Every structure is written in C-alpha cells, then in structure tokens.
C-alpha cells in the first residue's frame, strides 16, 4: 500500500513524461518510499495514454483523462479526489521541479508538517538565471499581491505536498486558474509550513501554459481568497475602491457642467452625483458584492439609487449647507465637495449592503456561482 501519491496535471506534456516518471520512481525507491503517480490529463491527444500504459508496466502509474473539463487547478482537485494515500505531492510535468527532492518533502511530512513547499525564493534557493526582466517582475508582483494571505516566501510554487488530514476541515476549494497551492494554504489550517529551498528552472521542452488569461485568472483568484480570509474588510476595501473611482466620475462631471457649460454649481452637483451613483452601482454589482448579480439589473439599479438617496441627502445637503453659510466654503467649494462625499459614503455602504445586495457572509462560504467548489476529504 503506497503512502504517497504524486499528482501530475498534464496537457500536451508527453515528451516530458518518460523522464519525469523515471526520475520520480528512482528518487522514491532509493529513499524506500512506497509511491504511486497519478497523471491527470486534459485529453491532450499527444500519446500521453500510451506512455502511461507503457510506464505503468514498470511503475505504479495511473492515468485519468478528463474530456469535459480543463484547467490545472481542477485537475489537481480531481487527482486528490481519486487518490487514497495519506501523503500527497503535486508537481508540474515540465521538469522544472526536481523529483530528487521528493524524499525531502516526505521526510518533513513524516515529521508532522502540515504543508511543504519547494521554493526558489527561500534562503538557499534560486530561480532560473535566464529569466528576463519581465519574468522576474511578473513573479515579484504576483508574490507581493499574495503577501496578505500567507508569509510563505513563494506561495505560488506549483511544487508542494501535504497530508490528507489537513483537508478534513477545509471549506470548499474553488480555485480559479492554476494556483491551487495558494488556495490550500489560505483555507487549510496549516500551522507548520516548511519551505524547501531549491533551484527552479524553466521548462526545457514544450510550451509554457502561462498566458495573459492565466494572469488575469490569478487576479480573480486573489480577490476571491482575500474575500474568504478577510470577508467584511475585503468588501469594505472594494467598496471604497469603487467609491474612489466614482469620485473621479463625480468630480469630472461636476467641473464640466459647472465651468464648461455654465450650469449652476448646486444643480451640477446633483447631476454629477446621479451619474457617479450609477457608475458605482455597476461596479459594485460586478465586483464588490458576491451576490451582486443575483437580482435583475433594472430593479437593482433603482433600489441602489433609492438607497443612495439617503447618502445623497447627506452628501449634497452638507455641500449646500456649507457653501450657503460658510464664506470660506463658498470660496473653496472642493473642500465642501469632499466633505459631502465622506458623509454620504458611510450611508451608501450600509444601505447598499443591507437593502440592495445580499449580505456578504451568507454567500462567501456557500455554494453560489461565485464560490462554487469541491469539498474533499
């Protein structure tokens, strides 16, 4: 009975598989580790099935070919679900992850580690010296964006291992894109995390799967994980970011109507607010609130404007009160403008959350379309 399953998601990696399989089982047999390899292939059609069949005569190799679904993260979830061993290790098929480190991973798992990850960023590790400036910058920015979720030096590494037990109390896994390791780190209760420094190189054969689309999916994944980890705080930050963009819209229309078209400044203020409120509703519907798109847009837009009318009263009313009664504010209308925005923002968020969009916690840990995933034990 094997104690370790090596899960390898593949898509058109047939030319790398023979060497990978040989190196994996050489490393595990030398360390007296009973292991199996589970190749999860997204119907590559490049001979992967024949290679796995041939190598399976010598080694414990299983192949799962997925025809209805694609994606690295979901392939890993499929492998986890289909495996039964106590230890799991995930690695790429492109030979960028040295199989010779597998015994080191298993050693730490046997010592009680909750999560072991191979890192080219940890002290003693290194990354491919042939990387371009863009590749290095891309990696550093991606790591920086994930810093609020974990203190691991390189949480984006695709070479990691963990005991099955950490998945017992994990909420649904719903990764977007290819960073399944970050998903597990953020959601599992990993108290003991070990980073293994290693030299990480780019693939030698085949084509990279890291496209612009994958980078955009990573940003979407980060947004989802920050929502999960910090719930209300993340929502408030997003609402605030939308509000800042709305302030730009508000100010642009206010100045244009007032100084370019000669509209009375109080009327301009009211019109610019309505335009900005519609802008905010659209962005909040799509980005801020998890259940934002559950309701029909027309009715929701009207509900948002009605709820925002209270904030508008505080916003525009304070502006009018200040500019009508305080000479300084009459001469410095932008100060009154921003005071009104600040007072109205608190009302807008509270009323939007309670009356327009479904409460955050009711959806973020549930099974809505934004967070649907798999519960794996």
Give the full edge-to-edge strand order of the sheet including 160-163: 61-65, 35-41, 4-10, 87-90, 160-163, 115-119, 193-197
Range 165-173 average pLDDT: 84
Looking at per-residue confidence, does 101 or 301 come out higher?
101
Q: Above 70 in pLDDT, residue 329?
A: yes
Range 57-82 average pLDDT: 91
Q: How far apart are the first and last CA of the chain?
A: 19
- What are the start-end ranges of the H helices in the chain? 17-30, 48-55, 72-82, 102-110, 133-145, 180-187, 212-230, 232-255, 265-283, 297-325, 327-331, 333-351, 361-364
Task: Identify the weakest region by mean pLDDT among 88-102, 247-261, 288-302.
Answer: 288-302
Tally helices (H) and strands (E) across the chain: 13, 9
Pick the closest to residue 85 from 37, 28, 24 (CA basis). Answer: 37
Q: Above 90 in pLDDT, residue 26?
A: yes
Domain ranges, ordered by start, for the chain: 4-230, 232-359
**Can you tell me the distance from the alpha carbon of 188 to that of 186, in angstroms, rounded to the nearest whole number?**
6
Q: Above 60 in pLDDT, residue 362?
A: no
Select from 3.90.550.10, 1.25.40.20, 3.40.630.30, 2.70.98.60 the CATH code of 4-230: 3.90.550.10
Computed from CA positions of residues 49, 54, 55, 59, in that sequence, does the dihedral angle turn out positive or negative? Answer: positive
The 10s digit of each residue's pLDDT in 101-142 is 999 999 999 999 999 999 887 887 777 777 788 878 888 888
Q: Above 90 in pLDDT, residue 80?
A: yes
Q: Above 80 in pLDDT, residue 14?
A: yes
Contact, 249 vs 279, CB < 8 A?
yes
**Can you tell me the distance from the alpha carbon of 253 to that of 330, in angstroms, rounded to the nearest whole number?**
19
**Can you tell me the distance from the alpha carbon of 347 to that of 316, in angstroms, rounded to the nearest whole number?**
13
- Identify the pLDDT of residue 290: 62
Average pLDDT, the chain: 85
Name the pLDDT band for 208 (thresholds 50, 70, 90): low
Percent of the chain having pLDDT more than 70? 89
**Can you tell me the distance from the alpha carbon of 246 to that of 98, in angstroms, rounded to the nearest whole number?**
49
Looking at per-residue confidence, does 283 or 189 come out higher?
283
Looking at per-residue confidence, does 163 or 311 come out higher?
163
Task: Identify the weakest region by mean pLDDT among 4-18, 116-130, 267-281, 283-297.
Answer: 283-297
β-pair partners for 194: 116
**Can you tell me the distance from the alpha carbon of 47 to that of 25, in angstroms, rounded to the nearest whole number?**
21
């Amino acid at each position: 009975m094997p104690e370790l399953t090596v899960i390898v998601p593949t898509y058109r990696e047939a030319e790398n598989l023979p060497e990978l399989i040989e190196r994996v089982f050489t490393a595990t047999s030398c360390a007296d580790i009973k292991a199996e390899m589970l190749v999860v292939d997204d119907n590559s059609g490049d001979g992967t099935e024949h290679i796995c069949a041939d190598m399976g005569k010598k080694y414990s190799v299983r192949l799962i070919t997925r025809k209805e679904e694609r994606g690295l993260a979901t392939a890993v979830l499929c492998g986890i679900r289909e495996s039964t061993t106590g230890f799991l290790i995930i690695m790429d098929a492109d030979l960028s992850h040295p199989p010779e480190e597998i015994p080191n991973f298993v050693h730490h798992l046997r010592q009680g580690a909750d999560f072991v990850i191979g890192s080219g960023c940890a002290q003693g590790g290194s990354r491919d010296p042939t990387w371009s400036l863009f590749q290095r910058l891309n990696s550093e920015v991606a790591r920086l964006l994930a810093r609020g979720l974990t203190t691991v030096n390189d949480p984006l590494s695709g070479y990691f291992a963990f005991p099955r037990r950490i998945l017992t109390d994990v909420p649904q896994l719903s990764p977007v894109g290819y960073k399944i390791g970050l998903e597990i780190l953020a959601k599992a209760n990993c108290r003991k995390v070990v980073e293994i420094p290693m030299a990480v190189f780019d693939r030698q054969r085949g084509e990279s799967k890291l496209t612009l689309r994958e980078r955009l999916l990573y940003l979407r994944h980060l947004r989802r994980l920050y929502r999960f980890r910090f719930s209300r705080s993340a929502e408030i930050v997003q609402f605030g970011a939308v509000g800042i963009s709305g302030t730009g819209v508000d100010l642009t229309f206010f100045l244009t109507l007032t100084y370019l078209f000669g509209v009375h400044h109080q009327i301009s203020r009211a019109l610019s607010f309505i335009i900005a409120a519609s802008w905010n509703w659209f962005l909040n519907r799509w980005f801020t609130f998890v259940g934002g798109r559950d309701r029909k847009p027309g009715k929701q837009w009207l509900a948002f404007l009605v709820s925002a009318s209270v904030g508008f009263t505080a916003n525009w009313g304070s502006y009018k009160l200040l500019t009508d009664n305080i000479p300084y504010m009459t001469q410095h209308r932008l100060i009154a403008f921003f005071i009104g925005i600040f007072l109205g923002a608190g009302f807008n968020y509270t009323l939007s959350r309670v009356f327009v969009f479904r409460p955050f916690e009711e959806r973020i840990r549930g099974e809505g379309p934004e967070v649907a995933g798999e519960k794996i034990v």
